[in-house]
A and B are shown apart, each in its own frame.
Chain A
């Protein structure tokens, strides 16, 4: 075992020990009491949280990926700076301010939260879609053209598979951030597990805080792993091997 590998292993072990210690502490001090004392409320908050994340991230994916493809077509290249700047602007406004702005025209509640989260999720997906498509080897596209493939065939057979790793990475980032940001929805009456987190903060009650925060964290980790799995499944094997080779060389 090399020295680096040993350090990585040690860090991993410490990390897992800390996690186990945390959960041991949490269970013995009844920090999750709220979850089993009022499961109805918990599942209600959880489903609100999932609804917000699901709808806002789903819409962001459905809109940002085609938009990224559209922008990278030679004909529409010129519109790239405009759209990317608009999306950038959306990201620079603090998430809490987007919530407040959305509330301005949609009122309190879950709808305003969904709109805010949607705006917040657009940029990482759009950026990664563009970057992924831009990084496709021009020689491969040339070759495809030479073989007589139509532009649509080139897109679906060459470009998208090659860019899929990057696109999925963008979606992964957006959704994981989205799950955490959705906790702020409490502030504008959007519900979700943030309600318990903020109750915990306002009442200084760790039971509320942990019963709300830990499920949100676990949700984010779960989704992160899910998308990693998806990346593994979707990305062509050849590209994956090339990637690994590149990492090894570096």
Chain B
């Protein structure tokens, strides 16, 4: 019996060794559609270049960041605003290039390299149903603030736990715009269900991502961020400096993706998955093939 275990052990060690003979990269992703698509595209492109790719997706922002810092994840698409405010406690920067330069500098000291900034800007947004917003004359978050202050306890808001507690999320909105929902008015749920909640008139306000296709689909409107609170959330590659130095040619692979993506295309891809219910893998592969990046 002991011998058998020894043989199995040896075999598995040999097997593991064989697997890691290719260049192995772990790609991480957060827990929403856009991230799944970006990660899938990254995987496909890297595999085309002969890398062995392992996926770690469906992580909360900070869990993903932790995994990157620990080296459990090598590469991920992240957002400049999240990098600055959530991971590093910096002030938000509205200017895209400035934000990118700043996060490169701040994270560079911590062994994390940012590259390949894209034109995808996936900032947070507060949404309302168009008919209700028009009826009440609410167009901006300032209008919302006035309304909530005049009618406390009336509006309910759907949010995921992350936005409800992030400094660049609801607490920051409260501070900047000078209003607050009561404890019982903020209903926390899985991100994505908040769209169902507002669509079904179970809440009046919900948090969204500006590239989310469900906003136009459900006749929701983005409330104007008239005090420029939400920073630029440009999608860019965030990787460990170690992996960056080991495979410098990866930057070029990602640049092909960064070159073709912008907010509009991202919203369209999200639409195909969220509204048309298509498979993430299929959407990512098809888009890369149509763009000529994948054979």
Contacts and interface: CB of A to CB of B under 8 A. Distances in A.
Contact of B187 (A44, A103, A109): A109
A44 B184 contact: yes
A195 B161 contact: yes
Nearest to A199: B161
Contacts of A198: 161, 188
B60 interface: yes
Nearest to B196: A108
B291 interface: no
Nearest to B190: A187
B165 A189 contact: no
A202 B187 contact: no
Interface string A127-160: 0000000000000000000000000000000000
B202 interface: yes
Interface in A183-198: 186-189, 191, 195, 198
Contacts of B166: 203
Contacts of B160: 202
A205 interface: yes
Contacts of A201: 60, 63
Interface string B206-231: 00000000000000000000000000
| A: contact size bracket | 20 to 34
Contacts of B202: 107-109, 189
A126 B64 CA distance: 43
Contacts of B176: none
B189 interface: yes
Nearest to B63: A204
Given A107-B200, A107-B202, A203-B60, A41 B188 contact: no
Contacts, number: 70
Q: For A188, A191, A204, which residue has the most chain B Cβ atoms within 10 angstroms?
A: A204
B60 A191 contact: no
Main secondary structure of the interface of A (DSSP, over half): helix
Contact of B188 (A107, A189, A205): A189
A44 B187 CA distance: 12
A44 B183 contact: yes
Contacts of A41: 183
Contacts of A205: 62, 165
Nearest to A196: B161
Nearest to A208: B165
A40 B65 CA distance: 31
A186 B62 contact: no
B29 to A, nearest CB: 14
B61 interface: yes
Contacts of A203: 60-62, 161-162, 165-166
B125 to A, nearest CB: 19
Contacts of B184: 44
Interface string B182-207: 01100111100100110010100000
B86 to A, nearest CB: 8
Contact of B193 (A40, A108, A204): A108
13 contacts: A44-B184, A103-B193, A108-B196, A108-B200, A109-B202, A189-B197, A191-B188, A199-B161, A202-B61, A202-B63, A203-B60, A204-B65, A204-B66
Given A189-B158, A189-B193, A204-B62, 15 more contacts: A40-B183, A41-B183, A108-B189, A108-B196, A108-B197, A187-B189, A188-B193, A189-B187, A189-B202, A195-B188, A199-B165, A203-B62, A203-B161, A203-B166, A208-B165
